[in-house]
Structure 1
Amino acid sequence: MRAVLSKIPGGPETLVVEDIPAPTPMKGEVMIEVKAVGINFPDTLIIEDRYQFKPQRPFAPGGEVAGVVVGVGDGVKHVREGDRVIAVPGWGGLVEYLTVPAAAVVPMPDGMDFETAAALIMTYGTSYYALKDRAGLQAGETLLVLGAAGGVGAAAVELGKVMGARVVAAASTAEKVEFARDLGADDGLVYPSGKMDRDVQKDLSGGFKRATGGDGADVIYDPVGGDYAEPALRAMAWNGRYLVVGFPAGIPALPLNLTLLKSVSVIGVFWGAAVMRDPAAHVANMGDLMRFWSEGRIKPRVSRTFPLERAHEAIQALGDRSVLGKVVVRVGS
């Protein structure tokens, strides 16, 4: 079978496409014929050995797949050949065939296509866990989403509206802000790109506060980090909750005195570990997300697709932060 492999640490250009033996499902596993793979920011990190997990090489990146069950191991009763499923293996997905524990697969709802399925679980799962379980976002509160046109940011915009919040979208270009408005954001603002001096950061904090109604945001969803973090923290409301999701712009150093002055909570979001620690809560959240999709309340936006042979371009596009919504790699027919 064809596989996209990371053999040495490095950027997307180091990935190679090779033929390797297809796996065989062991006891408790299912074998999936992969149809689509969602590309996410961790894919840009894991191939450079900059992610929390460092799989042994060679390995295939790709942490989110959709496909058809074509084999089952001993003891598997609730999944059958021919079932259309979604799985989040963490890595290993950029292949034609993949084995995963049967308990880890999620049935695809009727009417959902493979590209949508491959674009759903990681981004919406992360954002729903963050907003619901970590921040306790309530109807009527104000949610500020940084990086609002990216995968998890776009999901946070949609889910914030589903949960009844007033959503303010922040992104680096007017096109991205408009994209977030199309997702349902109530307001938006463009923030500057690159490094910011203190004056620019101060102006940005004022812009955040004005956009969130003057009193500041009750919840901030930050998958960006870098120089954007402190201005956002300064624009929080009393008893606000600051969600730390990711750091493509760099790991910030927050002035903790601000958390005291505003009674603000800074909350880490590590969805992958949460899934492993509380699988029952994960199953419940997945049920909610599938229901939201079936009701038309969320809709993953896949802006670009690539064939398996060009998977490195998909990862590069995500690393360049040029993607609106999600990018997906198609596998097979």
Structure 2
Amino acid sequence: MKDIRIARIPQSESLPVVSTTAAPTAADQRVLVRMRAAALNFADILKSRGQYQEAQPFPFVPGLEGAGEVITAPAESGLMPGDRVAVWAPGTMTEVMAVPADACLKIPDNMSFDQAAGFQIAYGTSHLALVHRAGLQAGETLAVLGAAGGVGLTAVQIGRAIGARVIGVARVPERLGIVAEAGADDLIDSDDSPDLKAALREFGPIDVVYDPVGAEPGLAAFGALRRGGRFLIIGFAGGKPPRLPLNHALVKNIAIYGFYWGGYRDLDRQALRDSLAQCFALFADGKLAPHAGEVLDLDQIAEGYRLLEARKTTGKVIIRL
């Protein structure tokens, strides 16, 4: 079979390569999956540089999520040969992989392999963070920073599906149009709003802030939270964490939640699995619509890495296997 290999910590122009290796065989309590598609995430870039928080020995097969068809499965897994499944496990950039049964979920009939491959981390992050951690409720107001980004768009859609009022913060009118299509009720152009805190406050009290940006925008959004509000730390695309004033959190009874989706594999695997099942159900009901990104063939993997590093795609980069 073919797979992708990261042989060593890359220097300037070193990129992942396609290799040929022996396919795995069925093992006890493992599901053997013929992978059809896998998604690239920025975590894959960091891993290839040796900069990810969960270090992985070189060489390794990249990819953290994908989708395919079951070849064989343990009888107690509830899966059958031919079942279409999503897979969340390290090493999805391969034609065949053996994974634990609880790392697989059946995908809706109306979902393609390409959609399923790039669905899990982005939508899983927003759903588990908003529902499980922040307890977002219908009728509350959610502010989403970086709303035109990969996870930002999913937060907008999930907030809308829950019944919250959603304020999308993004840059450039064209990208704000994408946020509006995702279901945001109100839009803020961060390039055209020198005082983001004041702009958010104009839309009324903010119950929950979803922050994958950090830096100054994160600090501004924190200042717009109502008393008793909740602040979700998702990432630091702005280059650094926001310098949150903890004394304000104290006197305003604001809850600050750090959230890392991958950590739930060990922290609460069942919560992660249940959240994904709810996301797939929302997709099947037409309430979630993944934004189309780049779809590339296996031999275009290096181009996929370049696109992701340059941030030249608004959706997921999908590799067809």
TM-score when scaled to structure 1?
0.89
Q: 2:268 corresponds to which residue? A: 278
**Unmatched 5+ residue regions in structure 1?**
194-199
How far did residue 155 of structure 1 move? 0.8
Q: 1:317 corresponds to which residue? A: 307
Q: Per-residue CA shift, 1:82-118, capped at 9, x if unaligned?
A: 11111100x2111111111122110112222111111
> Which residue, 264, 268, 274 being the options, matches 2:254?
264
Runs of 4+ aligned residues of structure 1 deviating over 3 Å after TM superposition are 10-13, 74-77
Give me the whole-angstrom Cα distance separating, in 2, the residues matched to 1:227 and 1:322: 23
Q: 1:206 corresponds to which residue? A: 198
| Matching of residue 18 in structure 1 with residue 19 in structure 2 | yes
> Which residue, 208, 211, 229 being the options, matches 1:222?
211
| Matching of residue 31 in structure 1 with residue 32 in structure 2 | yes
Sort the Cα spacing of 1:147 and 1:168 in 2 relative to 1 into closer, same or farther, 3 A: same
Sort the Cα spacing of 1:267 and 1:7 in 2 relative to 1 into closer, same or farther, 3 A: same
One-letter code aligned to 1:35: R
State how many pairs are aligned: 319
**Unmatched 5+ residue regions in structure 2?**
none
> Which residue, 270, 273, 288 being the options, matches 2:278?
288
- Give the secondary-structure state (helix, strand or coil) at the position aligned to 2:226: strand
User: What is the 5 A alignment of 1:113-128?
Assistant: 113-128=112-127
| Matching of residue 135 in structure 1 with residue 134 in structure 2 | yes
Give me the whole-angstrom Cα distance separating, in 2, the residues matched to 1:145 and 1:163: 14
Work out whether residues 176 and 187 of structure 2, in 8 Å CA contact, stay in contact via their aligned partners in 1: yes
One-letter code aligned to 1:43: D
Give me the whole-angstrom Cα distance separating, in 2, the residues matched to 1:24 and 1:148: 42
Q: 1:84 corresponds to which residue? A: 84
Q: 1:99 corresponds to which residue? A: 98
How far did residue 147 of structure 1 move? 1.4
Give me the whole-angstrom Cα distance separating, in 2, the residues matched to 1:150 and 1:290: 21
How far did residue 75 of structure 1 move? 6.0
Give me the whole-angstrom Cα distance separating, in 2, the residues matched to 1:14 and 1:324: 22
- Comparing 179-188 with 255-264, greater Cα deviation is found at 255-264
Sort the Cα spacing of 1:321 and 1:209 in 2 relative to 1 into closer, same or farther, 3 A: farther
| Matching of residue 232 in structure 1 with residue 211 in structure 2 | no
CA RMSD of aligned residues (A): 2.1
Q: Per-residue CA shift, 1:152-201, capped at 9, x if unaligned?
A: 111110000011111011112222111011010011122249xxxxxx8x
Work out whether residues 46 and 54 of structure 1, in 8 Å CA contact, stay in contact via their aligned partners in 2: yes
| Matching of residue 172 in structure 1 with residue 177 in structure 2 | no
Sort the Cα spacing of 1:12 and 1:306 in 2 relative to 1 into closer, same or farther, 3 A: farther
Identity percentage of aligned residues? 36
- Comparing 138-147 with 321-330, greater Cα deviation is found at 321-330
Give me the whole-angstrom Cα distance separating, in 1, the residues matched to 2:28 and 2:13: 34
How far did residue 12 of structure 1 move? 8.0
- Comparing 305-314 with 129-138, greater Cα deviation is found at 305-314
Q: 1:53 corresponds to which residue? A: 54
Give me the whole-angstrom Cα distance separating, in 2, the residues matched to 1:147 and 1:315: 21
- Give the secondary-structure state (helix, strand or coil) at the position aligned to 1:302: coil
One-letter code aligned to 1:209: R
Q: 1:249 corresponds to which residue? A: 238
Give me the whole-angstrom Cα distance separating, in 2, the residues matched to 1:3 and 1:61: 9
Sort the Cα spacing of 1:310 and 1:209 in 2 relative to 1 into closer, same or farther, 3 A: farther
One-letter code aligned to 2:42: F
One-letter code aligned to 1:174: P
